Chains A and B, each alone.
Chain A
Amino acid sequence: MTKITKTSLPGVGVKHEFVTDDGRRVGVVHHRTGKRELFVCEASDPDAATLNLSLSDEDSHALSDALGGSEIVENLTHLRQQVEGLAIDWLHVEEGTPYVGRSIGDTRTRTRTGVSVVAVIRDDLPFPAPEPDFEVQAGDTLVVVGTPEGIAKVEDLLSGG
């Protein structure tokens, strides 16, 4: 897999970049203001960004959809959403783990960890705000909100710990 390097830009934000197969540097600058900037470097001056494109949230989603990937968006959203002690995470439910076949209410996730399941993603389809009787299946992705510690506990529970 292509390696993405992360560089901190003090006072500006964070830069994620990688080098394409034909040797061109491509990356995204995440400004702290929330602005995202896509840049591409020319082969003749590999240090300089020659194409700059400012992207809104929706533009970024559209672009990443067009490229056919959602993993990066998830990761980046993850980075951005560490709101004062509040964390959002996407947890995959593997085959053969304790949550499979149980309803969300039955897993008692919220009671045990304080973490809420705010959505379930199944076959790329989102099910926002699932009811307590929503049954979890293997391969689902749970979108959870809570404290980072709570989410870590949920991860333990999910993997049968």
Chain B
Amino acid sequence: MNEVASLLVELGAVILGLGLVARLAARLSMSPIPLFLIAGLILGEGGILPIVTSEEFIEVGAEIGVIFLLLMLGLEYSADELVDGMKSVAFSGIVDLLSNFIPGFVAGLLLGWTVVPALFLGGVTYISSSGVIAKMLGDMGWTGNRETPIVLSLLVFEDLVMALFLPILGVLALGGTAIGAVLAALIALTAVVVSIAFAHRQGDRMGTFIFHTSDEVSLLTIFGLTLLVAGIAERIGVSAAVGAFLVGISVSGLSAERARVLLAPLRDLFAAVFFLFFGLSTDPGKIPDVLFVAVALGFLTAATKVWVGRWSARRAGIGARGQQRAGLLLIPRGEFSIIIAGLGASVAGGQQLPALAAAYVLLMAIAGPLAVRAQASRASKRAPDAAKEPVTDTFGR
């Protein structure tokens, strides 16, 4: 077979495989993210079926996947929601940060890692998966619940923290100094604040500029613009992901709605490639060594998330069962933990990070929803089951 033919065949087989995996996930009513990771681990280096010719394409696809995930995250929230979210949960948000970042960070140090990779591990354990959680809310019929706005606001807070945290990690990953990292974070902070303020004050200027009656024009404009901004952000050391996030939050209102519809299929494709790529580049042979740590860290940070959720809900006057729901909902970790781990894979002293993060995320993305379902079915022994609705896309929105 010539080069092009074998590339197409391999790529086709891989993407078709992802399609089957996503189908299985939908059947099991679970997030496909852990299954994509497992597929990557199986196919990758040290796995049973290594991919050869299409690796370059998948690598670039994975980069674009991160950019799409962050762009869509930015589009997900309007500037007003970000501002309100920050205000309403500022204190709980900080408690969440401390109680879930520190376990990962300390675990990294205990493993004998240096400070930089330990910081990455802290990020991995901190951020709950808004994708998995949004899907859970829909599946369980909890969107109207009183604790739900608290959970969602905490997620907004986490996502904003990540926008500041990624540039810090980005600089540290490239071997930069602490001063360089702080500088990058300041640049990112300024850019985020300016973008939010711009969108807050000016409304939808950006959207009017980007959008056109033709979907083709709109798609090419927003995609091109995002890649350009992401590239520039990467160049000045703020990380491509943050650039994409900024483009996302500067588009608001109905343009954001249109952009989400337009970009969702591309996001689904490239995000799947990204999760696959992370699995591919993680050596499954290293997982047994870190499995115990992953499980222990999983139990610990599930407990801390449950505690934060319960505590935040109690502060808002939510009853005992609502507190429990809020806590359990926050357990899953997913896409953003993987992004952070992916960024940290090349860091000196972080050789164990991808394997540990992969095992940890697999565990949390599967166990979190199971815990939620278990609690719901216990509660429903007294009340009829909540209406269940199939949600078909990766991010459940």
Contacts and interface: CB of A to CB of B under 8 A. Distances in A.
Contacts of B156: 10-11
Interface residues of B, number: 45
A45 B321 contact: yes
A129 interface: no
Contact of B144 (A11, A52, A82, A84): A52
Interface of B is mostly: helix
Interface stretch (B43-51, B147-155, B179-187, B193-201): B147-155
Interface of A is mostly: strand
Given A39-B143, A84-B207, A9 B149 contact: yes
Nearest to A15: B144
A83 interface: yes
B386 A11 contact: no
Contacts of B389: 52, 54
Contacts of B383: 42, 44-45, 50
Interface residues of A, number: 33
Interface in B190-234: 204, 207-208, 211
Contacts of A33: 397
A84 to B, nearest CB: 5
A35 to B, nearest CB: 10
B319 A52 contact: no
Contacts of B153: 10
Given A32-B257, A50-B384, A10 B144 contact: no
Interface in A38-88: 39, 41-42, 44-54, 82-85
Contacts of A140: none
21 contacts: A10-B149, A25-B146, A29-B143, A32-B257, A37-B144, A39-B144, A42-B383, A45-B319, A45-B379, A46-B146, A47-B319, A48-B142, A48-B325, A49-B386, A50-B383, A51-B387, A52-B144, A52-B387, A83-B254, A84-B207, A84-B208
Interface of A: 7-12, 15, 17, 25, 27, 29, 31-33, 37, 39, 41-42, 44-54, 82-85
Given A10-B84, A49-B143, 18 more contacts: A9-B148, A9-B152, A10-B153, A11-B155, A15-B143, A15-B149, A17-B144, A27-B144, A31-B143, A32-B260, A37-B143, A47-B319, A47-B325, A52-B387, A84-B204, A84-B207, A84-B254, A84-B255
